[in-house]
Amino acid sequence: MNNIKSAVRVLDILEVLSTRAAPMRFADLARELSIPKSSLHGLMGTLVSRGYVMRDEADRYRMVDGLRDGFNWIGGFRARLQAVAAPIIAATRDRIGETVFVCVQRPDLDVTLVCKAVSERPIRYDAAEQSRLPAYATVMGRVLLAHSEPDAVDAYFARTELHAFTARSVTGEAALRAELARIREAGYGTIEEEFAEGGCGIAAPIRDAKGNVVAVVDIATVAQRYRERSDEMRDAALETAAQISQRLGRAGSQA
């Protein structure tokens, strides 16, 4: 049987990256695999764009976590979202100096962090990756609830105890439903010190190729900076969500 050279090279790349805990530099990968840099550049670009490999700002590559954990992820959305979103949110973080989160909805409609780019400012907002966050009390969760099926939202409110996290928390179902309607109309959500004292955020939906809301981008910051720069952060959230949506195949999204 004749092997197809490009297919063999792709498998060689994945096999090497799967054995490395640290990212590999492009030049080291080319040297180890004896692949011409011109050919390797195209192969790596394809692997990155399809969500199998991540590239950082130092031109180093690593296998996405989902693939490293097992081959059952292939075609899975979360691993591809992480690979696509990570460099985009890092660029947004660097541009505006604030933390950027990407979250997805859990089956119970609460939310889970997929990836983040944390602000380098001494005072900043952060949250643990893969943590479960209450949908009704966070802007990421509210944006996703706003675009969920009505029956699912009804069931969510029926089973969820709406308790306060801060003195500013909104806990009334009617008020929360009104906020979900506002989010759908505006195209983004905001929150001010409802989930954490001093923490604020602006979130925008990420859509797939069919236009379905599949994830959310959140610009998270401290209250003082939010109130000084909320318009800039809103624009950054919308732009970042559009860029990720475009990479996921959403027609009409602006890069």
Q: Select the more confidently predicted residue: 32 or 183.
A: 183
CATH of 76-247, one of 3.40.50.2020, 3.90.1170.50, 3.30.450.40, 3.30.540.10: 3.30.450.40
- Cβ contacts of residue 28 below 8 Å, gap of 6+? none
The domain limits of the chain are 5-72, 76-247
> How far is Cα 63 from Cα 91, in angstroms, rounded to an integer?
20
- Please choose, from the candidates 107, 185, 108, 115, the residue with its C-alpha nearest in 3D space to the C-alpha of residue 147: 185
Q: Are 193 and 223 in contact (CB under 8 A)?
A: yes
**What residue spans of the chain are helical by DSSP H?**
5-18, 26-33, 37-49, 65-69, 77-96, 139-146, 150-159, 173-186, 223-247
Q: Give percent of the chain with pLDDT exceeding 70.
A: 90
C-alpha torsion sign, points 94, 98, 99, 101: negative
Q: Which class is 5-72 in CATH?
A: mainly alpha
- Per residue in 46-78, pLDDT tens? 888 877 888 888 889 988 766 655 544 454 677
> Token digits for 169?
């928390």
